[in-house]
């Protein structure tokens, strides 16, 4: 090679190198949530498993920037803006509020939501099968299970005629579904006491209302606030000897009486899979919203005994899991 050609080749290689190195930088995804990370470790582990199944792992070929609003919902728009400034390749949003904040912040960056309500009713997507635009995700549809949860509670405590319903006020879809559960209660001959909670302090006040109105049992709605405060709720239910049905297995595992719902970790895993597929080039509009396919009931027998409840053999055999 002639000296002049050699110098040109070296110069061209040097000029191209920074762009090649930049292209090899791992992509960054942003994770936005309305709550705190601590109570959701199991769910996040499932999200990481979904990413791993598509070939991505944090620290190897992926960077994850997380922003947790820690129940200060007013912070979500600013936190979404921070992640956009980081030029994330995908924005993952847990809870309806986080998804709506992400959607308001960008129409170009792909968004994968993970939520517990109906994303159409919440205004996150126009259709489950054709989400359109830059948004898709996975939902565990916890709110729609209230009538079944109420029926289970009625079977557990047949003498109870006044039932409390604790609703996460931060979940608009939950508030919209209250009339449906009121109708289900009416058909069972039950009176429903509905209390909404927006903060942890509201939860204490809610139990005072249930006791004042002589509720003999309780249904706890889905929602990130109530899930993150599940130990507080379980302790209050125990203190007031209030048989309670919960939306997720995590509650029964932590000492709650019974839960009925779908597998939330599976929903988070699907969110991780969708994130990986979008990183590989698929478009959110081509990915239908993932819905739950399996429901499970988990009964905490120790708590039932502490409450003095007699569990029928039919309910014992019907439970997917019994915690001794």
| Same fold yes or no, 7-140+264-286 and 143-262+295-323 | yes
Q: Cite the beta strand spans of 253-317 per DSSP E.
A: 258-262, 295-300
Q: Which residue has the higher pLDDT, 170 or 43?
A: 43
Give pLDDT tens digits for 85-96.
999 999 999 999
Residue among 176, 164, 170, 177 at smallest CA distance from 207: 164
Mean pLDDT score, 216-228: 92
Say whether pLDDT at 9 is over 70. no
Global pTM reads 0.85
Q: Do residues 255 and 234 touch, judged by C-beta distance below 8 A?
A: yes
Q: Could you tell me what percent of the chain has a pLDDT over 90?
A: 77
Per CATH, the homologous superfamily of domain 7-140+264-286 is Response regulator (3.40.50.2300)
Architecture of domain 143-262+295-323: 3-Layer(aba) Sandwich (3.40)
What is the pLDDT, as a whole number, of residue 23? 52
Q: What are the boundaries of each domain within the chain? A: 7-140+264-286, 143-262+295-323
Q: pLDDT for 277-321, tens place per residue?
A: 999 999 999 999 999 888 899 999 999 999 999 999 999 999 999
**pLDDT tens profile 132-153:** 999 999 998 866 788 889 999 9
Q: What are 154-199's pLDDT values in tens digits?
A: 999 999 999 999 999 887 777 778 888 899 899 999 999 999 999 9
154-158, Cβ contacts within 8 angstroms, sequence gap of 24 or more: 154/188, 154/190, 155/312, 155/315, 156/217, 156/243, 156/245, 156/257, 156/258, 156/304, 156/309, 156/311, 156/315, 157/216, 157/217, 157/243, 157/309
């Amino acid at each position: 090679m002639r000296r002049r050609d050699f110098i040109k080749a070296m110069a061209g290689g040097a000029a191209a190198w920074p762009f090649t190195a930049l292209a090899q930088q791992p992509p960054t995804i942003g994770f936005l949530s309305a709550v705190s990370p601590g109570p959701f470790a199991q769910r996040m582990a499932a999200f990481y498993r979904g990413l791993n199944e598509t070939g991505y792992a944090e620290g190897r070929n992926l960077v994850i920037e997380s922003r947790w609003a820690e129940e200060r919902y007013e912070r979500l728009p600013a936190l979404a803006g921070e992640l956009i400034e980081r030029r994330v390749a995908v924005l993952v949003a847990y809870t309806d509020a986080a998804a709506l904040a992400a959607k308001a912040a960008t129409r170009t960056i792909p968004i994968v939501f993970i939520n517990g309500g109906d994303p159409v009713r919440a205004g996150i997507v126009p259709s489950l099968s054709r989400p359109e635009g830059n948004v898709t995700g996975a939902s565990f549809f916890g709110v729609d299970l209230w009538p079944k949860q109420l029926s289970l509670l009625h079977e557990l405590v047949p003498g109870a005629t006044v039932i409390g319903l604790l609703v996460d006020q931060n979940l608009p879809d939950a508030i919209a579904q209250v009339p449906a559960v009121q109708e289900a209660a009416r058909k069972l001959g039950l009176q429903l006491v509905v209390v909404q909670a927006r903060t942890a302090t509201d939860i204490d006040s809610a139990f005072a209302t249930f006791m004042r109105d002589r509720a003999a049992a309780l249904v706890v709605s889905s929602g990130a606030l109530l899930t993150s405060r599940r130990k507080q709720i379980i302790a209050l239910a125990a203190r007031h000897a209030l048989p309670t049905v919960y939306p997720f297995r995590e509650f029964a595992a932590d000492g709650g009486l019974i839960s009925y719902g779908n597998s939330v970790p599976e929903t988070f895993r699907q969110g991780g899979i969708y994130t990986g597929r979008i990183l590989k080039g698929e478009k959110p509009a081509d990915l239908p919203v993932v819905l739950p396919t399996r429901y499970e009931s988990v009964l905490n027998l120790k708590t039932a005994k502490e409450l003095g409840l007699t569990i029928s053999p039919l309910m014992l055999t019907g439970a997917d899991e019994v915690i001794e």
